[in-house]
Structure formats: C-alpha cells, structure tokens
Amino acid sequence: MTTYTRRVDQWIQIGRDIRVMPTDIDSAGIRLLVKGRLMGGPRDGEPFENAYELLVGQDAHLGPHLVINVVEVRGDSVRLGVLAPANIPVYTKEQIDELRKGNS
C-alpha cells in the first residue's frame, strides 16, 4: 500500500480512468468522491461515480483489485492508503501536472 496526503479537492489518479478526491474532512473521517471507469470484474470499463463516508481505518473497495483506506486525519488533510496492482500507476494531481508540463 502506498500512502498519499491530500486536502479537500486534491485528487489522486489511479490508472488512466479513476480519480479519488476527498470533498469533506473532519476529525473522525472523510467524504471521498470516486469517479472513472471500473477496472476488472464483470463490469470492467463501466463508468461510475460514488461517494463514500469513511471513518479512520475504513476502506472503499473500487472493484476487485483496488482499495482506498483512510489511514489518518490531521487537521484539514487526510492520509489515504492506495492498494493497487503494481502494473497500475497511481499519481497525485501535482505529478500529473508535472508530466503534462514535460510533454508540452
């Protein structure tokens, strides 16, 4: 599992098609917005958008191979754990912005 610290509206991109973003953070947990296309399973490639209310320690399962865990809440930021197969890249918004600058 890889962990990322995010604030409200700072997203993580998993693969090419899934974005994960906290939209509300408080001391007990978060609201997490997830949208994109499902990866794996019988609904592979199907578009989706879900909101999850998660407490610290809880998981959101995004299909058979992806899990997001709320590791810790600190003030106005949350530490999210991402468990994904090694062949699926995971980036922060800032990393995607840097990659786009390099390709321009």
CA dist., res. 44 & res. 63, Å (int): 9
For the chain, the domain total comes to 1
- pLDDT tens for 12-41 read 999 988 999 999 999 999 999 999 988 777
- pLDDT tens for 56-90 read 999 999 877 899 999 999 999 999 999 999 999 99
96: tokens are: 């995607």
Assign residue 22 the CATH number of its domain.
2.60.98
